Structure 1
Amino acid sequence: MRMALATPPVLGERRRLFVAAAPGFGKSWLVRSWLADQRVTWAGAGFDPEAVEDWLVVDDLPALDVAAARTLAGRIDALPPAVRVILVSRAPWPGRLPADSAALDAHDLALTEPAVLRLLSAEYGVDDPDVAGAVHRLTAGWPSLVHLAGRHLRGGDLASLCAPGTALDAFVAEQVVEHLPVPSRRLLRRLAELGTACEDLAGPRAHRTLRLLAHTGVVVPAAAPAGTYGMAPMPHWLRPVPALAAVVTRREPLSEPTHLRLHTDTAHWYTERRAWGPAARSRWSAGDRAGTSALLREHGTAIVAAGGAEQVIEAYTGLADTDRELRLLCGEALAVTGRLDEALAELTPLLAGRSTVEAGLAWRLGMVYYARAEHRAAFEALERGRIDGADTADEAFLLAWTATVHWSVGNGEACQEHAHRALHAASAAGDPRALAAAHVALALRAALAGDRAGNVEQYTKALAHAEAARDAVQAARIRANLVSQLLEEARYPEALAGSAEAVAAAEAAGNATALSVALVNRAEALARLGRLDEAERCGERALAISQRAGSGKAAYALTVLGDVRARRGQRSMARAAYEEAVRAADADGVRQCFVPALAGLARLVAADDPAAARVHAEKAVSHGSGPLATRALLAVGWVAVAAGDRAAATEAADRAEHSARLHRDRAGLAEALELRAGATDRPSARRSALVEAARTWRTTGARLDADRVAHQLGLLPGASAEERLAARVARGALEAAGVALGTGDVAVPPANLAIRVLGRFEVILNEVPVPSSAWRSRKARDLLRILVARRGRRVAREELAALLWPDDDDDLRVAHRLSVALSTLRSVLDPERHLPADHYVFAAPAALAADTAHLDIDLDTFLGEAEVGHRLHEQGQPAEAREVLAAAERRYAGDVFEDEPYDDWAVPVREEARATYLRVTRMLARLAAERNATDEALGYLLKILARDPYDESCHREVTELLELAGRHGEAKRARARYEAAMRELGRPAVAAG
Structure 2
Amino acid sequence: MPPVSTADRCSTSSFCQFSNWIRASTVAAYVWRVLSCWGSGEVRRVESGAVGRPRLVALLDEGVQRRLLTVVADAGFGKSTLLGSWAAGRACAWHTVRAEDGSLSAMVSGLVGALRRQVPELDTIPAELQSPRGPDADAEQQTRALAYAALLADALDANLSHDLVLVLDDLHELHPAAPATKLVEGLIRTAPPNLHVVVASRTPMPFGIDRLRGRGQVLEIDATALAFTVAETLAVLENVLGDGTEDLAEPLQSAVHGWPAAVRLAVEALRTAPADQRAIRLRRALRSDGPLYDYLAEEVFAAEPPAVRRLVAGVAVLPRFGAELCKAIGLTDSAETLQQLRTRGLLVSAGEDDGYELNPLVKNFAADRLVVDEQELTELSLQAGQWFESVGEHRDALACYQAVDAARAARMLTESGHAMVSGGMAETVVASVGALPVELRDAAMDQLEGEARQVLGDWQGAMECFDRIIEPEGEIPVAIAWRLGLIHHLRGQTDVAIATYQRGRIDGRHPTDEALLQAWWAGAHWLRGEFEECRALITTAYETAKVSGDDGALAIVHTVLAMLAAVDSDPRGNSSHYVRALEHAERAGDLLQAIRIRVNRSSHHISEGDYALGLKELDIALELADRAGFAVFRALALNNRGEALLRLGRLDEAIGELEASRALYQKLESKRVAQPLSVLGEVYRQRGDRALARACFEEAIPMAEETRDMQSLVPSLAGLARVLAVEEPERAAELAALARQAVDYGPVLGLSGALVALGWVTLHAGNQTEAAATAEEAAAISRKRRDRAGLADALELYAAAGGGEVLHEVLNIRSELGDQLGEARAELMLAGRTNGPEGRELALRAHQQFLAAGATRYAAAALAASDATGPAPVRIECLGGFRVLRAGKAIQLGEWPSKKARDLLKILVARRCHPVARVQLLDLLWPDQDESVASPRLSVALSTVRSVLDPNKRYPADGFVGADRATIWLDGEQAAVDVELFLHDAREGLNTGDLRLLRAAEAAYSGDFLEEDVFADWAAGMREEARALYVRVARVLAERGRRDPDAAAGYLLRILQRDQYDERAHLGLVSAFQASGAHGEARRAYRTYVQRMAELEVEPAPYPGVPARL
TM-score by length of 2: 0.46
How many angstroms does 1:550 deviate by?
3.2
- The equivalent of 1:801 in structure 2 is none
Distance (whole Å) between structure 2 residues aligned to residue 668 and residue 203 of structure 1: 47
Matches within 5 A, 1:693-732: 693-718=810-835, 721=838, 724-725=840-841, 727-732=843-848
- The equivalent of 2:492 in structure 1 is 373
Letter in 1 for 2:606: L
Distance (whole Å) between structure 1 residues aligned to residue 511 and residue 412 of structure 2: 22
Q: Deviations over 1:887-932 (max 9, x none)?
A: 99999xxxxxxxxxxxxxxxxxxxxxxxxxxxxxxxxxxx999999
Deviates further, 302-311 or 527-536: 302-311
Matches within 5 A, 1:910-989: none
CA contact (8 A) 2:112 2:123 kept: no
How many angstroms does 1:725 deviate by?
3.6
Match 2:744 to one of 622, 646, 650: 622
- The equivalent of 2:588 in structure 1 is 469
User: What percent identity do the matched residue pairs reach?
Assistant: 31
SS of the residue aligned with 2:504? coil
SS of the residue aligned with 1:187? strand
Asked if 1:594 corresponds to 2:713, the answer is yes
Distance (whole Å) between structure 2 residues aligned to residue 712 and residue 171 of structure 1: 73
SS of the residue aligned with 1:639? helix
Letter in 1 for 2:794: A
Letter in 1 for 2:539: H
Deviates further, 364-373 or 352-361: 364-373
Asked if 1:690 corresponds to 2:807, the answer is yes
How many angstroms does 1:701 deviate by?
2.4
How many angstroms does 1:709 deviate by?
2.5
Distance (whole Å) between structure 1 residues aligned to residue 750 and residue 856 of structure 2: 26
Letter in 2 for 1:650: A
Match 2:784 to one of 656, 662, 676: 662
CA contact (8 A) 2:718 2:739 kept: yes
Match 1:508 to one of 618, 623, 627: 627
Letter in 2 for 1:373: G
Matches within 5 A, 1:311-390: 323-325=442-444, 327-328=446-447, 331=450, 344-390=463-509
SS of the residue aligned with 1:553? helix
Letter in 2 for 1:402: W
- The equivalent of 1:251 in structure 2 is 203
- The equivalent of 2:97 in structure 1 is 190
How many angstroms does 1:587 deviate by?
0.7
Distance 1:193 1:709, change over 3 A: farther
- The equivalent of 1:750 in structure 2 is 865
SS of the residue aligned with 1:437? helix
CA contact (8 A) 2:74 2:202 kept: no
Q: Of the two, which has the highest radius of gyration?
A: 2
Matches within 5 A, 1:523-538: 523-538=642-657
Letter in 1 for 2:203: R
How many angstroms does 1:305 deviate by?
7.6
- The equivalent of 2:850 in structure 1 is 734
CA contact (8 A) 1:312 1:330 kept: yes
Task: Specify which structure has the bigger relative contact order, considering alpha-carbon pairs within 8 angstroms and separated by 6 or more residues.
Answer: 2
- The equivalent of 1:438 in structure 2 is 557
Distance (whole Å) between structure 1 residues aligned to residue 670 and residue 688 of structure 2: 28
Q: Deviations over 1:567-616 (max 9, x none)?
A: 33333333232222211111131122221121122222222343543232
Distance (whole Å) between structure 1 residues aligned to residue 674 and residue 497 of structure 2: 18
Distance (whole Å) between structure 2 residues aligned to residue 229 and residue 202 of structure 1: 18
How many angstroms does 1:670 deviate by?
0.8
Asked if 1:394 corresponds to 2:513, the answer is yes
Letter in 1 for 2:775: A
- The equivalent of 1:12 in structure 2 is none
Distance (whole Å) between structure 2 residues aligned to residue 288 and residue 729 of structure 1: 78
Distance (whole Å) between structure 1 residues aligned to residue 400 and residue 201 of structure 2: 15
- The equivalent of 1:674 in structure 2 is 796
Letter in 2 for 1:507: D
Distance 1:429 1:718, change over 3 A: same
SS of the residue aligned with 2:857? coil
CA contact (8 A) 2:529 2:748 kept: no
Letter in 2 for 1:556: Q
Matches within 5 A, 1:442-841: 442-609=561-728, 610=731, 611-680=733-802, 685=804, 688-718=805-835, 721=838, 724-725=840-841, 727-742=843-858, 749-753=864-868
Q: Deviations over 1:666-705 (max 9, x none)?
A: 111011111112222x8xx3xx322211211222222332
CA contact (8 A) 2:446 2:468 kept: no
CA contact (8 A) 2:498 2:521 kept: yes
CA contact (8 A) 1:627 1:663 kept: no
Structure 2 spans left out of the alignment, 5+ residues: 5-57, 133-150, 160-165, 167-182, 189-196, 207-260, 262-314, 321-347, 356-388, 877-951, 955-994, 1001-1040, 1048-1110
Letter in 2 for 1:181: L
- The equivalent of 1:227 in structure 2 is 129
Distance (whole Å) between structure 2 residues aligned to residue 484 and residue 522 of structure 1: 9
Q: Deviations over 1:464-486 (max 9, x none)?
A: 11111111121111111111111
Distance (whole Å) between structure 2 residues aligned to residue 308 and residue 535 of structure 1: 40
CA contact (8 A) 1:530 1:702 kept: yes
CA contact (8 A) 1:599 1:635 kept: yes
Asked if 1:425 corresponds to 2:425, the answer is no
Q: Deviations over 1:206-261 (max 9, x none)?
A: 779x86xx99xxx999965752459xx99869874448699866728999999977
TM-score by length of 1: 0.51
Distance (whole Å) between structure 1 residues aligned to residue 822 and residue 106 of structure 2: 47
Distance 1:590 1:718, change over 3 A: same
Distance 1:326 1:589, change over 3 A: farther
CA contact (8 A) 2:72 2:204 kept: no
SS of the residue aligned with 2:727? coil
Matches within 5 A, 1:151-300: 181-182=83-84, 187=94, 189-190=96-97, 194=101, 224=126, 227-228=129-130, 240-242=184-186, 251=203, 265=351
Deviates further, 339-348 or 574-583: 339-348
Letter in 2 for 1:560: V
Letter in 1 for 2:851: E
Compute the RMSD of aligned alpha carbons.
5.9
Distance 1:221 1:767, change over 3 A: farther
CA contact (8 A) 1:443 1:459 kept: yes
How many angstroms does 1:653 deviate by?
0.7
Distance 1:199 1:676, change over 3 A: closer
CA contact (8 A) 1:502 1:518 kept: yes
Distance 1:370 1:280, change over 3 A: farther
SS of the residue aligned with 2:806? helix
How many angstroms does 1:267 deviate by?
12
Matches within 5 A, 1:5-84: none
SS of the residue aligned with 1:251? coil
Letter in 1 for 2:708: G
Distance (whole Å) between structure 1 residues aligned to residue 353 and residue 673 of structure 2: 39
SS of the residue aligned with 1:750? helix
Structure 1 spans left out of the alignment, 5+ residues: 1-20, 25-87, 95-104, 111-141, 145-167, 756-762, 769-831, 835-885, 892-926, 934-993
